[in-house]
Amino acid sequence: MNVMAKAEKKISSAFIYFFGSFGGILFGYDIGVMTGALPFLQADWHLENAASLVGWITSAVMFGAIFGGALAGQLSDKFGRRKMILMSAIVFMVFSVLSGVSPDMGEASAYYLIIVRMLLGLAVGAASALVPAYMSEMAPAKARGRLSGLNQTMIVSGMLLSYVVDFLLKDLPGEWAWRLMLGLAAVPALILFLGVLRLPESPRFLLRKGDEAQARKVLSYIRKNPAEIDQELASIKETAKEERQVNQKTSWSTLFSGKYRYLVIAGVGVAAFQQFQGANAIFYYIPLIVQKATGQAASSNLMWPIVQGVILVVGSLVYMWIADKFNRRTLLMVGGAVMGLSFILPAVINWMMPNMNPMTIVVFLCIYVAFYSFTWAPLTWVLVGEIFPLAIRGRASGLASSFNWIGSWLVGLIFPIMTASMPQEAVFAIFGIICILGVIFVKTCVPETRGHTLEEIEEQGTNHGRVKASNPEN
């Protein structure tokens, strides 16, 4: 026991925050890796005219993630954040390798890969839920905003890493290329597993299990003085007491009561709009988009995902710089408006100038990604973390996450089917209209949360419910 204590004392806060957020790398890698693997997989398995199978192979991870996030959240309350992150890393390693060694059995191969990627999605969804929870419980209150940005930076860095790996492997024989792209996802999962082995459990979970001594010890690694530790322990105890009380009084129907309905619709709506706006269509299919626009083989267009990845990483850093300088609603509305125009204008230009340069659409997609990267991508989860009152926070956050993954799954599934049946410009114009609807939704249905305490935000929702109740015609 003394040896373990001495080993734990050597853990720096930087190490804790780095590996605490490293799960975002896994999440991002698997979002991005199919972008480069898909053209080779299509050619190897002759799936060029099987739009629905391509959609299912691509979106299977998101389908599994719908359930992985909810399952991991419940299990982490029982077994701890750290143990569940370790378990997620193991699941990720196993099914990444199984994806890479998919047997070549004709059409049955596609169904095998779909099932394996669904199971891999359990780990992806778990990482998306566990990493923010662990980080929020380890970080000091004044640093939570920046560390939310760190999680987003890890996710987009994982995407960029997958794009670079895809590019480096593109000259291998087709069968080896896509198999290595998918299988190498096990490497960051192994790094995460080894790093998390040295991480402590979160003090909040330790206190819930009655281990105050260990909770105090963990806080001593990441807080500066004993007074700060005492204050935080007292705060965690009080919050845990309140949560026990409210959990006894709430149910799923509570989310849609007059008092909370406004805030639940706002948070869940923003989470859903983030995905239905079509960002993942770009991230999953950019080589195929360029192929359809220019006629060049998708496998020769793997530099474009790297361009998108660099834009995403730079955008995440821009967000960390501007996060507390502009209102949330302002950033979401400006970002959504530019994103919508970036999708709609190519269709308008193509209608007015049928001979437009086919790369015009790709330039506009880069503009879309740039504005998405520092507005809707990070702010959705900042707002979801702020907007739900304590009494409904667990259920409402889970509902928002589920709608987000459902949107991600549907976009990944139907985009190849849509582009097989209509011009690309028309498909993106539809997403552009959804972006504009998202702006209208934010303007009319979402309160401003920047600079407000959680209690003030809850009061906004309560007051809005009272107004609606007294003026039902509004």
Query: Hey, what amino acid is at 325?
Result: K
Q: Is the dihedral of CA 17, 23, 26, 29 positive or negative?
A: negative
pTM: 0.80
Give the lowest-confidence range in 171-175, 250-254, 375-379. Answer: 250-254
Q: Collapsing DSSP states into helix, strand and coil, what is residue 139?
A: coil
Residue 250: pLDDT band (50, 70, 90) is low
- The number of distinct structural domains making up the chain is 2
The verdict on residue 418 lying in a domain is yes
Name the residue range of residue 447's domain: 250-474
Q: Are residues 26 and 172 in the same domain?
A: yes
Q: Are residues 161 and 258 in the same domain?
A: no
The verdict on residue 214 lying in a domain is no
Q: Write out the two tokens for 429.
A: 């114009």
CATH number at residue 438: 1.20.1250.20
Q: Are residues 194 and 273 in the same domain?
A: no
C-beta contacts of 185-188 below 8 A and 24+ residues apart: 185/26, 185/29, 185/30, 185/33, 185/92, 185/96, 185/99, 186/92, 186/93, 186/96, 186/97, 186/100, 188/22, 188/25, 188/26, 188/29, 188/158, 188/161
pLDDT in tens, 190-244: 999 999 998 888 888 888 788 888 888 888 887 777 877 888 788 777 777 766 6
Q: Are residues 40 and 152 in the same domain?
A: yes
Residue that the structure tokens 């949330």 belong to? 328
Give the lowest-confidence range in 24-38, 85-99, 445-459. Answer: 445-459
Is the pLDDT at 51 greater than 80, yes or no? yes
Q: Are residues 177 and 289 in the same domain?
A: no
pLDDT in tens, 59-79: 999 899 888 877 887 788 788
Q: What is the pLDDT of the chain when averaged over all its residues?
A: 83
Is the pLDDT at 470 greater than 70, yes or no? no
Is the pLDDT at 458 greater than 70, yes or no? no
Residue 311: pLDDT band (50, 70, 90) is very high
Residue that the structure tokens 């059409």 belong to? 107
Q: Write out the two tokens for 462.
A: 């309560």
pLDDT value at residue 435: 97
pLDDT in tens, 321-340: 887 788 889 999 999 999 99
The verdict on residue 218 lying in a domain is no
Instruction: Answer with the residue of higher pLDDT: 69 or 442.
Output: 442
Q: Are residues 276 and 181 in the same domain?
A: no
